[in-house]
Amino acid sequence: MEKPIYLDYNATTPVAPEVAEEMWPYIQNHFGNPSSNSGIGRHNKEAIEKARMQVANLIGAFPGEIIFTSGGTESNNHAIRGAVFVNLEKGKHIITSQVEHPAVTEVCNYLENQGCEITWLPVDAFGKVNPADVEKAIRPDTVLITIMHANNEVGTIQPVKEIGEIAKKHGVLFHTDAAQSVGKIETDVNEMGVDLLSIAGHKLYAPKGIGALYIRNGMKLENLIFGAGQERGLRPGTENVPYIVALGKACELAGENLDTNNRHLFETRQRLLDGLKEKCRTTIQLNADLNNCLPNTLSIAFEKVDAHTLASLVSKKVLFSTGSACHANSVEISPVLKAMQVNPLTAAGTVRISTGKYTTKDEIDQAVEIISETVNKLV
């Protein structure tokens, strides 16, 4: 059976062939423990340090500011919990937004149950945080601001540079979840003014189960787990060498091809949107400002069309996500669309289509035909 056209790159990406090729020797032959003094152990230690440099180069950091994790969720947990727990003497107040990924919101909910106070900032109709709201929310006991770089559902890019300047002015730590932005748009930790930044490997053509956390030099974090001295003692445990090597290679490729990939993502998304507008016999509503959005992400609602019905009908030919979750006798709108105050009927008709570096123009044209034909039958 022919594979469906994959347009859900924000959910996960395939492993790039160059990445798979780079990691394979460390699965097949180079099995030594990086902490041992043997030749094979030293070889793997050198491979880890090379990967650390590759990750650091992509985000404008020093290699010593990178620790490897199991993915974006662990990076977010370590950044937020670690920063709060080590600064309890200063206070227990955290500032975040209403459109964060569950890997941030659930950590904040946990900390709230532990006695912390969370300020959940509102967003505008496109899911953007107002930096002025961040500044107003800062208190003497504020220990951390955590605002994502780009939203996973609608693609909106947050004003992290402005927020970073505010955080620095008030002496507050600033973390950003950059899982969706790294490799798609420029993500420089110094330009952004962040103290902590989370990376998820499977969002940039590395395997699932590997990520990284940037920790600005001089910052202290409380440990989440305890053991030997790997990763500066912050993330102890024998390193996952093949996957670390894979992430390093993925970051190297992302840096080398950032402009080319960015342009390709923009062009494929625009081709998709233009085609759907031309061929669909219903109103299409955008849920983001495309001038301030990830170049590959299109969150749109088809009027009078149920997104789950649409996705189900085309699923053997085209794959994408919906903006709501379907339960037994009800539809639950995503917290992101709720925070944006999207009309429930619009939210129920919302789909997220996200292109990738392997998306072809021919695939886009086919997807337009398949989606529009189905939409026109439903309206």
Which are the catalytic amino acids? Answer: 326
CB 276 within 8 A of CB 371: yes
Give the residue carrying structure tokens 């912050």: 234
CA 38 to chain CA mean position, Å: 38
Tokens for 194, please give them. Answer: 């962040």
Q: Give the residues across from 351 on adjacent strands.
A: 300, 322
The DSSP output letter for 64 is G
CA dihedral 182, 269, 73, 212 (to 10 degrees): -20
Those residues with Cβ within 8 angstroms of residue 91's Cβ, 6 or more apart along the chain or in another chain: 139, 140, 141, 142, 143
Total residue length of the chain: 379
The DSSP output letter for 16 is P
At 212, give phi and psi (nearest 5°): -150, 155
Rounded Cα distance between 269 and 64, Å, is 37
The 3-state DSSP class for residue 310 equals helix
Tokens for 323, please give them. Answer: 């903006």
